[in-house]
Amino acid sequence: MRLHVVRAGTAAVGAPPIVFVHGLGSSAATWARCMEILGEHHEVVAVDLLGHGDSPVPDDPDAYSRDTALADLDDVLASLDEPAVLVGHSLGGYLSLAHAVTRPGAARAIVVINTGPGFRDPDKRDAWNERSRRNAHKFGVPPQATNLNLQHDAVVMDHLAEVQVPTLVLAGELDRPEYVVSGQYLERKMPHARLQVIAGGEHSMHEDTHAAEVASAIEQFLADGA
């Protein structure tokens, strides 16, 4: 396994492991409070994506792609004794959706936080990609690492209706409105998705004063049978 991971928690009987995937420019540290809370009953694992945190930082831009990121997540999931719940924020949420549509049933369930499913319109993808490249410095990552955030197809949008695992979609009330709209789209298109809007939540609500609410929503989602 080439990604750096942080492991904690103690699994209660019947409680699945949880794997956390951060957004662009963040790291495993973003999940500290959620891991503390959920680690009381679950084995919890947070990854540093390639080019982030303590994971390797290759110079080759081609090393940073959705497919290589998904293969890295495969390695993390394979290190666990049973199927895990993938929890992803922003880019990490998109990768969790991409994992679900390309590897049916590999994860027990998924939770996505302030996440969009990508773009079907090539012009919108191109605009997104240009913004991602242009704003690398704002995220504090090497320019090549922004390739993780690029959109080259509509594979997620095209296969959402096929995702059979339970899915919890969390959106912050005070984040940009498009994340609530994206959450409504995911709830509408995915057969087992449920949207929950966190009152007062912003984009990184899992690491601020709303971390307990995010963790509680995840715990209830799992208690309900996910």
Return the CATH number at 119: 3.40.50.1820
Give ∠ CA 210-50-123 in degrees, rounded to 5: 80
From 103, 54, 111, select the one nearest 78 (Cα to Cα).
103
Q: What pLDDT does 60 receive?
A: 96
**Scanning the structure block, which residue is given the tokens 């715990």?**
219
Instruction: Render pLDDT for 67-106 as a digit per residue (tens, 0 to 9).
Output: 999 999 999 999 999 999 999 999 999 999 999 999 999 9
Distance CA 218, CA 167 (A): 10
- Per the structure, the count of domains in the chain is 1
Q: What pLDDT does 226 receive?
A: 82
Domain hosting residue 212, numbered range? 5-223
Instruction: Render pLDDT for 149-158 as a digit per residue (tens, 0 to 9).
Output: 999 999 999 9
Distance CA 49, CA 148 (A): 9
Q: What pLDDT does 47 receive?
A: 98
* Chunked mean pLDDT (size 10), the chain, 226 residues: 96 95 97 97 98 96 96 98 97 98 97 97 96 88 94 97 98 96 98 98 94 98 92
Q: What pLDDT does 46 receive?
A: 98
Our measurement of the distance from residue 173's CA atom to the centroid of its chain's CA atoms, rounded to an integer in Å, reads 18
Distance CA 188, CA 158 (A): 13
Q: What pLDDT does 137 receive?
A: 83
Query: Does pTM top 0.95 for this prediction?
Result: yes
From 132, 87, 119, 115, select the one nearest 203 (Cα to Cα).
115
